[in-house]
Amino acid sequence: MAVQEEFEQLLSIMHRLRRECPWDRKQTPHSLRQYILEEAYETVEAIDNENWGELKKELGDMLLQIVFQAEIAVEKERFDLEQVIRHINEKLIRRHPHVFGDITVSDDKEVKNNWEQIKISEENRQSVLDGVPRHLSALLRAQRLQDKAANVGFDWPDGGGVLEKLKEEIQELELAISQNNPEELENELGDILFSLVNLARFHHFNAEDALRATINKFIGRFQYIEQKLKEHNKSIHHSSLEEMDRLWEESKTHFK
């Protein structure tokens, strides 16, 4: 089948499910929110693992959620899938004047700046920081907000300033610890995390991706400890810290 035929079959299947399947018929835009998030995270995981076969499946699952939401919207006479597609087509053309218009850009940074400026003018936003979803993870939200501020020139002139700010925040954290001030300790931890995100942004990588990679590495190393102890008929609950630490160091050759 051609892409258009496959897509039309998907729409037909979704249309029928909404009428004949009790579970699908029961769903609402709100009840489907959790599945949108789950599919998005599973898609990211497939990309992280470079599992392209799995990515193909997850992209299909994400497409299902779009079609599902659009089908419900049609039933409620809110909008249809054609309007959804038309909207994104028109937006992509408007926001890429260097491709579809007569604007000239020198690099990807200028493309990004133009995108943000066009977005602000189109949506009549009151602040440069508007438009970052509140439900994003804290790390990702921090980086998007910092991106927006940097796009209008509110940024460090070089990486040295970012690093010095991080050192300053660490000193303030140490002071809060020495004073046994829990409220100030929480504030300073937040400032350090925000500064770390800024450092990641300034060096052109994503703090969320970096932390996720470290989490996966921790899981791999910890499970290595569990497996090695199990091979010696030992429980991790009855192992010493010294033994676990030795296996942890050993695991670093397998999970870098």
101: left (phi over 0), alpha (psi -120 to 50) or beta: beta
Average confidence score pLDDT of the chain: 93
In this predicted structure, what is the pLDDT of residue 153?
87
In this predicted structure, what is the pLDDT of residue 112?
82
For the entire predicted model, the pTM comes to: 0.74
d(CA 165, CA 191) in angstroms, rounded, equals 10
Tracing tokens 């054609």 back to the chain, one arrives at 82
Own/partner contacts of 68-71, CB < 8 Å, gap of 24 or more, are 68/14, 68/24, 68/27, 68/32, 69/29, 69/32, 71/11, 71/14, 71/15, 71/18
Q: How many CB atoms lie within 10 A of CB 71?
A: 19
pLDDT, tens digit, for every residue of 67-126? 999 999 999 999 999 999 999 999 999 999 999 999 998 898 888 888 878 887 787 778
**pLDDT mean over 152-168:** 92
In this predicted structure, what is the pLDDT of residue 137?
92
In this predicted structure, what is the pLDDT of residue 78?
97
Work out the pLDDT band at 1, boundaries 50, 70, 90: low
**pLDDT mean over 14-42:** 96
d(CA 53, CA 58) in angstroms, rounded, equals 9
Q: How many CB atoms lie within 10 A of CB 187?
A: 14
Q: Which amino acid is at 54?
A: E
Token pair of 192 as six digits: 């350090």
Instruction: Compute the C-alpha angle 142/85/130, nearest 5°.
Output: 25
26: left (phi over 0), alpha (psi -120 to 50) or beta: alpha
Share of the chain above pLDDT 90, in %: 80
Cβ proximity of 82 and 45 under 8 Å = no
pLDDT, tens digit, for every residue of 122-138? 877 788 898 899 988 99
d(CA 91, CA 97) in angstroms, rounded, equals 11
In this predicted structure, what is the pLDDT of residue 10?
97
Share of the chain above pLDDT 70, in %: 100
pLDDT, tens digit, for every residue of 215-231? 999 999 999 999 999 99
In this predicted structure, what is the pLDDT of residue 125?
79
pLDDT, tens digit, for every residue of 33-64? 999 999 999 999 999 999 999 999 999 999 99
For residue 146, give every residue at least 6 positions away whose Cβ sits within 8 Å of its Cβ, in sequence order, or none.
197, 198, 201
Q: Which amino acid is at 190?
A: G
Cβ proximity of 97 and 103 under 8 Å = yes
